Amino acid sequence: MNPQFKIIILTQYYPPEHGAPQNRLHDLAKRMRKAGHEITVLSAMPNYPRGEVFPDYRGRFCLSEEIDGVKVIRSWILPSKKKNVLLQLICYFSFAVSSAFVGLFKLKKADALICESPPLFLGATALFLSFAKFAKLIMNVSDLWPESAVQLGMLKPGFALSALEGFEKLLYKKSAVVICQTDGIVAGVKKRHSGAKTFLLPNGVDLEAFGKQPRDANFAKDRDIQEGSFIVGYAGNHGRSQALSQILDAAKIIRDGGGTNERSGKIIFVMVGDGHEKTGLQAKAKEMGLENLIFCDSVPREKMAWLLSQFDLAVVPLKDIKIFDGARPSKIFELMACEIPFIFCGRGEGAEIAEKSGGAFVVPPENPEALASAIIAFANFAAQRRIKMGLTARKFAEDNYDRAKIAEDFFSEINGIGASIN
Together in a domain, 239 and 363: yes
Where helices occur in 197-244 by DSSP H, the ranges are: 217-222
Task: For residue 170, tell me if it sits in a domain.
Answer: yes
Specify the pLDDT at position 245.
97
37 and 111 assigned to the same domain: yes
211 part of a folded domain: no
Are 180 and 222 members of one domain? no
Q: Are residues 56 and 164 in the same domain?
A: yes
Q: Does residue 26 lie within any of the structural domains?
A: yes
**Contact indicator for 207, 402 with CB cutoff of 8 Å:** yes
User: With b meaning 16 or more CB within 10 Å and e meaning fewer, what string describes 16-28?
Assistant: ebbbbbbbbbbbb
- Measured distance CA(341)–CA(343) in Å, rounded: 7
Nearest-5° angle of CA 283, CA 284, CA 285? Answer: 95
> What's the confidence (pLDDT) of residue 1?
46
Q: Any idea what the CATH number is for the domain that residue 236 is in? A: 3.40.50.2000
Distance CA 141, CA 319 (A): 20
pLDDT of 417: 54
Alpha-carbon distance of 394 to 125, in angstroms, equals 40
Residue 209 counted as domain residue:
no
Domain that holds residue 200: 6-204+402-421
| 93: number of Cβ within 10 Å | 16
H/E element, 95: helix 85-106
d(CA 373, CA 302): 33
**Res 82: pLDDT:** 75
What pLDDT is recorded for position 148?
83
Q: Which amino acid is at 308?
A: L
Q: Same structural domain for residues 84 and 101?
A: yes
Count how many domains the chain has: 2
- The phi and psi torsions of 88 (rounded to 5 degrees) equal -65, -40
Residue 66 lies in a domain: yes
Same domain, 152 and 224: no
- Residue 46 and residue 333: Cα distance in Å, rounded? 25
* In a shared domain, residues 167 and 271: no
In a domain, 79, yes or no: yes
The helix/strand/coil state of 62 is strand
Q: What is the pLDDT of residue 14?
A: 96
**What pTM does this model have?**
0.84
350 φ/ψ angles, rounded to the nearest 5 degrees: -60, -40
Judge if 192 and 235 occupy the same domain.
no
Give mean pLDDT in consecutive 10-residue pieces for the chain, a chain of 422 residues.
Answer: 78 91 92 90 93 94 96 96 81 96 96 94 97 96 86 81 91 95 92 92 93 93 90 94 96 85 76 92 96 94 94 96 89 97 96 97 97 95 94 97 90 63 48
- 55 and 181 belong to one structural domain: yes
